[in-house]
Structure 1
């Protein structure tokens, strides 16, 4: 089966600081990969390179066998890049215009991508809203008139409007209540199954990632340290950082002092690892 998304040896530095170094993975059609790590691990920089918000210093990204240019110029190239990969942010206000209703926002995206017929656009807007569990009331509302979960659903509908091959979700449920998180995660699972869209799920939370992803790539200090199928990774974590992430989830007998000690120990050189 041909890869939907192929990422090879991505590297990004800001001056002397290397934010991402040597990230590689492939994603099959309908696959879901978790990019996992805490703040500063490089996972969000990787996500931004996937959608063209950051330009890699080296490495390559291909969607459906077609290389994505490190930089795009011109309207047609920007629209093609948007159709290949879309991002859903932690804060849906980053992609929703506060001045427009949700229906107007979706209609604008469709017009931008060449849908000229007004009645066909209206039908497509209704279809997109239904796909994410929203209806006419939400279509007529502006972002401030919706709950956090409804805004995130609307942001997902906006991303889906261009029919992307890959959806990148950057901490897309971390700001939501647990019950709303479950609703959005169920929605993403349904979309993946029904539309065959690939998901790259960026998160610090392995409990969330295990709900929606097949595999996880764990990042630490900008580098991939473990990449395996999720059931195997969760049952038999090999890298000390992966074990720390799992141990950091509160559970009976959880000792914050032990977690802090293990975190300090990670700053010491690990046999077989090159310095960060």
Structure 2
């Protein structure tokens, strides 16, 4: 009861201030959550996927327009074949659930998967492309899922693409600026300029996640495993962002 009262108070305070447009989240601690409870690791990913669904609802309620979730990194390809298979199977099911969920269409949520797709199985790519195609016209809420993602590789791929266009005469060297590079990242609509990056699980590192997009963002670390992440934790993160942002603008005056 006390927690609910505190949550409501936080909610009211946060709603009075500016709301971040783009929230990015490193969903860390799924496997540790499962092991702590004596469950196999893949169950941690299952509960983590259910938590992601709730967090999306919370973000929409608060007024956040863009959410980017770190689901699977390029480094994760080094994990065992069994664990990767479990993660791919779960991701396939969750993508299908997103497509069938009435909230996706009622909220006009555009879903995009950002990352290197060359190492993903064909059946998973087929589901990804179907979801992206079906939601391509939506423009009220944007969900980016970083799957098979590496921040450095994203920048390398952008540079290679730009250099190819320079050789073809489509781009002049003097045209290369921040905006052009942003345009050549994995997704250029509502994907750049993260306002706040949240990492769960107690680790305090960025793990090669959105280095370009987070150049000027506020980073918030929370010492709970992702499946145990609460609405209170999200509200505290946004309240911190609001406070630091207000302090920054005050110093600029």
Structure with larger RCO (C-alpha < 8 A, sep 6+)? 2
TM-score w.r.t. the length of structure 2 is 0.34
Q: Which has the higher helix share?
A: 2
TM-score w.r.t. the length of structure 1 is 0.32
